[in-house]
Chains A and B, each alone.
Chain A
């Protein structure tokens, strides 16, 4: 009898996992910046989640639980690969500005590139909050840090994206505008 109810739960657990896959993949791509690695990560996450399903409290947020597993898996893979997790001030974040392709119109391609330039902790924070729809509390739990930390990461991510994308009034003064000036009146 307990058995049959377990099986029933397992059935719905499976369909809940299936339903969570698109969101997990999106998060995995945001973390890894690579679709093959992202799918491997999702696969690992599903296997882990399946094994640990008894530790999931029914009625709590399955999506947040799965995101936590995925994120932990991602960072443990990174450690295994011996890659240092960049911190917020990582040298990787070159002061590389991407200029809006056309007259201040921000292209999705530009945005993606700018997102990639963010340090991982900021990128995951802004994706969890601004895209995946988690609350600060949930995001803090997923990232195993304080709510205030998530807030400051989101805010720094936003500032950095703004800088990189030259949003906020500066958009019209990208290199094109300057180039046009330098080239002088030949462009009318």
Chain B
């Protein structure tokens, strides 16, 4: 059973949201772990397939352009 939680109102204009460390305030352990969790993901090696994919997309686009040019000329 879940009790409906109404979406809190946006509330009074709070301070400008800039860098967000203050959100976590006293819970710096959560902030730290979140960063650590994210850094770990960022540091994963990027598989070749993505660079290959972009290479293919670029080639396809280039080929498309040249061939349509060719047609226009011919």
- Interface residue ranges, A against B (CB under 8 Å): 3, 7, 10-11, 14, 17-18, 21-23, 25-26, 29-30, 39, 42-43, 46-47, 50, 88-91, 106, 108, 111-112, 115, 126-127, 129-132, 135-137, 146-149, 151-152, 154-155, 158, 161-162, 165, 167-168
- Cα separation A50 to B55 with both chains bound (whole Å): 11
Tell me which residues across on chain A come within 8 A of B23, comparing CB atoms: 129-130, 154-155, 158
Query: Hey, which chain A residues are within 8 Å of B65, CB to CB?
Result: 3
Contact B44 A130 (CB under 8 A): no
Contacting pair A149 B53 (CB below 8 A) = no
**What chain A residues lie within 8 Å of B24 (beta carbons)?**
130, 158
- Could you tell me if A131 and B53 are in contact, using CB atoms closer than 8 angstroms? no
* B48–chain A nearest beta-carbon distance, Å: 11
Binding site for A on B (CB under 8 A): 2-5, 7-11, 14, 17-18, 20, 23-24, 26-27, 29-31, 33-38, 40-44, 46-47, 49-51, 53-54, 57-58, 61-62, 65
Q: Is the interface of B mostly helix, strand, loop or mixed?
A: helix
Given contacts A129-B20, A130-B31, A137-B17, contact A22 B8 (CB under 8 A): no
A17 interface neighbour in B8, B43, B47, B54, Cβ under 8 Å: B54
Chain B: CB-nearest residue to A91: B2
Of B11, B38, B50, the contact of A46 (CB 8 Å cutoff): B50
Q: Quick check: B20 and A25 within 8 Å, CB to CB?
A: no
Chain A interface, DSSP helix/strand/loop, else mixed: helix
Given A147-B17, A148-B8; 10 other pairs, CB 8 A cutoff: A22-B41, A22-B46, A23-B42, A89-B5, A111-B30, A130-B34, A131-B37, A152-B7, A158-B27, A162-B27
Q: In the complex the two chains form, what is the Cα distance from A23 to B41 in whole Å?
A: 8
- In the complex, how many angstroms separate the beta carbon of B34 from the nearest chain A beta carbon? 4
Q: How far is the CB of A43 from chain B (nearest CB, A)?
A: 6
